[in-house]
Amino acid sequence: MEKEIICTVCPTGCVMHVVGTETLIESIEGYTCPRGKKYGEYEFLAPVRILTSTVKSNEGRLIPCRSKNPLPKGKVLDCMEVLRGVTVTLPIKRGDVIVADILGTGIDIVATGE
């Protein structure tokens, strides 16, 4: 497998070229600093993203929410599906858990607004 990865750690946006398998990196080129190299490795083997969305509340108003930590990228759309079916009961505070351990990822969906 070969992938071109643009580093998003800093605005320089170095373009890395990574070769490897699903579990192993054979070569990685194009990074400028160690933080970028680490990002490239993660992005190649197990890319993750923070998911943000909104959920309905019992008063109709939308409540913004996020995954507390980044989720596996491949799970993002499935998690959206779960959130579409959720209605929270107000009042709610920033940081309150809306869905615990979403889809068995070990990651909570929490409110970001009230």
Partner 1 sequence: MYEITCDVAIVGGGPAGLAAAAAAKKEGTEKVIIIERDETLGGILQQCIHPGFGLKLFKEELTGPEYYGRFVDKVKELGVETLMNSMVLEIEKNTVVCMNKEHGITNVNTKSIVLAMGCRERTRANIMIPGTRPAGIYTAGSAQRLMNRQNEMVGKKVVILGSGDIGMIMARRMTLEGAEVVAVVELNNFLAGLTRNKVQCLDDFGIPLLLSHTITNIKGNDRVEGVVVSKVDEATKKVIAGSEQFFECDTLLLSVGLIPENELTRKAEIEISSITNGPVVNQYMQTSIPSVFACGNVVHVNDLVDNVSTESAIAGASAAKFAKGELGGGEEISVKTGENVRYVCPQRVVGGGGKVDFYFRVMAPKGQSVIAAKDGDKVLCSRKTIKVNPGEIEKITVDLGGVREIVIESREA
Residues in contact with ligand SF4 by CB under 6 A are 7, 9-10, 12-14, 31-33, 35-36
Tell which positions 8-27 bind partner 1, by CB under 8 A: 8, 11-14
Strand ranges inside 1-114, DSSP E: 2-6, 15-20, 25-29, 48-49, 52-57, 62-67, 71-72, 87-88, 97-99, 109-111
Residues 33/39/40/46 CA torsion (nearest 10 deg):
160
> Which residue number, 44 or 63, has a Cβ lying nearer to ligand SF4?
44
x/- contact string, 37-76, with partner 1 (CB under 8 A)?
A: ------------xxxxxx-x-----x-xxx------x--x
Q: What is the DSSP string of 38-58?
A: HHHHHHHHS-EE--EEEEEET
Q: Which is nearer to ligand SF4, 14 or 110 (CB)?
A: 14
Q: Which lies closer to partner 1 via its Cβ, residue 38 or residue 73? A: 73
Verify binding: residue 90, partner 1, rule CB under 8 A. Answer: no
Q: Distance between CA atoms of 25 and 62, rounded to whole angstroms?
A: 43
**Between 31 and 44, CB nearer to ligand SF4:** 31
